[in-house]
């Protein structure tokens, strides 16, 4: 194919380490200047490709690119935009080819979760069906940890470290005040269908003593059994700490926190199960409760990121470029676990066809028999993912993050409306 330029896009909800993957892509591409020319980043992901809003990353200094490794957010902007199939919306794909051809783009890197990896897979199909030579590699990212094949999803380890730390600290607060004040603290974390984030909260309690109660989407909420579990914890320890996924469902299969709103992917918007649950506890058990929804904080807390997670994120970015220049199309670099203790891992190749739009839920053998905790097998899996500290540099008491210039490239095609 000869020397070609590349497109890189970030998509979906951000993580504390998605920019570490961007760093891996950009630094590795610069090391392979004979195969890859410029790397154009799409402003707001695939939307930037469709509207020809491209950022020339070659303008950025080596220091700025290197600083992405410790900067949260999405340096080039993200989006929630899902391409339809070629047969449903051929014009979109013809537009992509028009933009790619105008900028001599032969490599496509897309960094995101299941829906985003579906976009990468569809672009690879576009190349085959519409006879445009392009190598497409998806780069895994999601705090939900629900991608198949890969041992874990970059972004999850840092979220897990943050929520477990936050819950452990809150538990010390509640334990100190429970004799005269609050007896229950509930933390709502992300997780629509997969309860990995809530499961990770159990790491906050060494040995799983019982004061912590988990509510996972994989386990149908049973009001009577739940209230009994909470009451037992209060009677034994004086307090109870609860971690719950936003996607907790009732016996009717409906989300307890469902709203009538939809996101850009057509998913029901969630958020607010914590006040529902704590109101139930207060009404039925007559105890004082406090709750918190960590929301964006859990996915953007770079100040307490997992070093293991940062290494994962950078490695999949680097591997994506290496796969691409080797001609590996419609694939994703995946993390393979070699051992738990010590934690050892490497990178393997996974076909996008087996990753896109798939969800990896918390397996039954990771969930305790009563459904309110995790097993030792789950602890062995989760524990290595939060290990290590990767503090960003600090200035005047606050993290010192980089903000790129993100200068637009001159448009060479006609205007296109998404």
Tokens 């004040």, residue located: 181
Q: Residue 1 class from Cβ within 10 Å (0-12 exposed, 13-18 middle, 19+ buried)?
A: exposed
In degrees rounded to 5, what are phi and psi of residue 122?
A: -65, -35
Give me the active site residues, please.
144
User: Cα–Cα distances in Å, from 363 out to 112, 151, 282, 338?
Assistant: 23, 13, 32, 19
Query: How far apart are alpha carbons 68 and 10 in whole angstroms?
Result: 13
Neighbours of 285 (CB within 10 A): 16
Chain centroid to Cα 70, Å, comes to: 16
Structure tokens at 32: 């392979």
* Cβ neighbours of residue 254 closer than 8 Å, sequence gap 6 or more: none
Query: How far apart are alpha carbons 369 and 379 in whole angstroms?
Result: 15
Structure tokens at 14: 């951000």
């Amino acid at each position: 194919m000869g020397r070609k330029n590349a497109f890189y896009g970030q998509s979906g909800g951000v993580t504390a380490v998605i920019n570490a993957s961007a760093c891996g892509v950009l630094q590795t591409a610069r090391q392979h200047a004979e195969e890859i020319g410029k790397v154009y980043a799409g402003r707001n992901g695939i939307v930037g490709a469709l509207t020809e809003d491209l950022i020339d990353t070659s303008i950025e200094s080596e220091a700025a690119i290197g600083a992405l490794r410790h900067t949260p957010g999405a340096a080039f902007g993200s989006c929630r935009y899902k391409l339809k199939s070629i047969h449903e919306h051929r014009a979109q794909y013809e537009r992509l080819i028009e933009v790619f051809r105008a900028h001599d783009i032969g490599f496509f890197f897309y960094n995101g979760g299941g829906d985003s990896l579906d976009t990468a897979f569809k672009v690879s199909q576009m190349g085959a069906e519409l006879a445009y030579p392009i190598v497409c590699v998806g780069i895994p990212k999601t705090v939900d940890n629900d991608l198949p094949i890969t041992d874990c999803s970059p972004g999850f380890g840092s979220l897990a470290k943050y929520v477990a730390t936050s819950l452990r600290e809150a538990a010390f607060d509640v334990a100190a005040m429970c004799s005269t004040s609050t007896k229950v603290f509930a933390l709502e974390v992300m997780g629509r269908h997969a309860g990995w984030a809530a499961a990770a909260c159990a790491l906050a309690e060494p040995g799983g003593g019982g004061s912590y109660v988990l509510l996972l989407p994989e386990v149908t909420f049973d009001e009577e059994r739940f209230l009994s579990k909470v009451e037992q914890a209060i009677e034994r320890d004086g307090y109870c700490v609860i971690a719950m996924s936003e996607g907790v469902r009732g016996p009717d299969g409906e989300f307890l926190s469902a709203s009538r709103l939809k996101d850009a992917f057509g998913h029901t918007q969630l958020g607010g199960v914590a006040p529902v649950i704590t109101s139930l506890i207060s009404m039925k058990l007559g105890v004082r409760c406090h709750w918190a929804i960590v929301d964006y904080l859990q996915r953007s807390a770079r100040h307490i990121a997992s070093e293991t997670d940062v290494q994962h994120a950078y490695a999949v970015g680097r591997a994506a470029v290496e796969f691409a220049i080797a001609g590996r199309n419609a694939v994703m670099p995946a993390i393979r676990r070699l051992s738990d203790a010590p934690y050892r891992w490497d990178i393997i190749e996974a076909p996008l066809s087996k990753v896109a739009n798939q969800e990896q839920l918390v397996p039954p053998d990771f969930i305790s028999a009563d459904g309110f905790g995790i097993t030792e097998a789950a602890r062995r899996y989760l524990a290595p993912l939060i290990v290590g500290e990767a503090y960003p540099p600090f200035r005047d008491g606050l993290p010192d993050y980089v903000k790129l210039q993100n200068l637009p490239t001159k448009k060479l095609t006609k205007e296109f409306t998404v």
